[in-house]
Amino acid sequence: MSARSAIRRAVALGVGSALPSRILTNEELAKTVDTTHDWIVERTGIHQRHIAAEGQMTSDLATDAARAALTMAGMDVGDIDLIVLATATPDQTFPATATRVQHNLGMSHGCAFDVQAVCSGFVYALTVAAQFIETGKARGALVIGAETFSRILDWSDRSTCVLFGDGAGAVVLRGEDGTGTTADRGVLSTELRSDGQHNASLYVDGGPSTTGVAGHLRMNGREVFKHAVRNLAEIGEAALAGAGLTADDVTWVIPHQANARIITSTAQKIGIPMEQVIVTVQDHANTSAASIPLAMDVAVRDGRIKPGDLLLLEAMGGGFTWGGATIRW
Ligand code: UT7
């Protein structure tokens, strides 16, 4: 346990999630694109994904997730003065989806903004919010990952459309004084990376200043895969080292849920058994920025994650971006 002077910690007090009610199974998808349930399961671990209803926006899912997280925390919007929302599928080009969530929650104080780091978005948003709280700039924060990737998929491209789904997850953070050791509750470390040279491996072929329309997701899956395990293992280890912890200290790993093979290989590389890894990719597919808080919510509500547990988060996505964090729950 590393001894540090007393510091302000960003303590996670609640988590919540929201999924559209419509479930799209692999079998159903195989009726419209040239794929099979067996191929998808073998290559990715995915069995199904949730798809937003017509008119159901990223902000709607985000608002539901935020409300559930506030309820678990026993807090209301009066306790929140910061909303950081990670999304690559905002309701509108501007303003930020976070401001729509703020309005939906009946909140007109504090500040709300989006961060864009695609699948690493939640770890980026958590890092930003934790910094605000640790410096005293914010007292309470909602950190949200929310996506409607179904809106940017090319449903005729079997190499991408089978991989993604819609959903949202949210965590409530509150500033509390810690002793400065790794026994403190709250965010203990965060590490972020990006490398823009990989744009062509994972991107959306549109945008306001290029085509003027939203565009569709394009990915060289094999290329992304190649970098994913290396980057995720590196960032996981960096997040542990940043807090003065090792793999032995970890209770649960909550990885970005893109592919079961990536999750397994990364856990092996870091040296953490799969029994300690939260896996929800089979049920949600890849929900980009929403995947980590969605998985966290599942594991908190089913009783696996308990107060005092040490969580290791790791994510990697378009940019490339990647990030890791340790949190004592
Ligand atoms: O969250 C952001 C980060 N994204 C990721 O982490 C995704 C990383 N990449 C992956 O997860 C994997 O690369 C995929 C799941 C996307 C693909 O798995 P793979 O083992 O790398 O397959 P592949 O792309 O090398 O394709 C193998 C074969 C190809 O056929 P040929 O060329 O060998 O004849 C594809 O055309 O599988 C074919 N294929 C499919 N077959 C049935 C590609 N998509 C499908 C499909 N159904 N849906």
Task: Note if 161 is an active site residue.
Answer: no
List of residues 6+ apart from 219 with CB closer than 8 A: 159, 160, 201, 202
Which two three-digit tokens encode residue 21?
């009610």
> Quick check: 143 and 126 in contact, CB under 8 A?
yes
Atom of ligand 1 nearest to the CA of 291: 1
Residue 219 CA to ligand 1 center (angstroms) comes to 10
Give me the residues of the chain with pLDDT under 50, please.
1
The CA distance from 224 to 318, in Å, is 9
Residue type, 7: I
Question: Any residues with CB less than 8 A from the CB of 64 and at least 6 apart, and which?
Answer: 16, 18, 168
State the pLDDT at residue 105. 98
Query: Which CATH fold would you assign to the domain 186-328?
Result: Peroxisomal Thiolase; Chain A, domain 1 (3.40.47)
Helix 260-270 crosses helix 221-243 at what angle (to 10 degrees)? 40
Cβ burial, residue 56 (10 Å; 0-12/13-18/19+):
middle
Is the CB of residue 286 below 6 angstroms from any atom belonging to ligand 1? yes
The correct answer on CATH 3.40.47.10 for the domain covering 7-178 is: yes
Give pLDDT, residue 5. Answer: 60
| Separation of alpha carbons 235 and 139, rounded Å | 28
DSSP E strands, the chain: 7-18, 22-25, 48-51, 82-86, 111-115, 140-148, 166-178, 186-194, 202-204, 217-219, 252-255, 310-317, 321-328
Please give the distance, rounded to the nearest whole angstrom, from the Cα atom of residue 241 to the centre of ligand 1. Answer: 33
Of the listed 26, 231, 259, 286, which one is catalytic? Answer: 286
From the list 26, 216, 231, 256, the catalytic residue is 256
Q: Quote the CA–CA distance of 143 and 75 in Å, as a whole number.
A: 14
φ, ψ (nearest 5 deg) of residue 169: -140, 150
Side chain identity at 306, as an amino acid letter? Answer: K
Q: Domain residue spans in the chain?
A: 7-178, 186-328
Catalytic status, residue 198: no
26, 50, 119, 259: which is the annotated catalytic residue? 119
Cα of 227 vs centre of ligand 1, distance in Å, is: 15
Separation of CA 220 and ligand 1 centre (Å): 8
- Bridge partners (DSSP) of residue 112 are 83
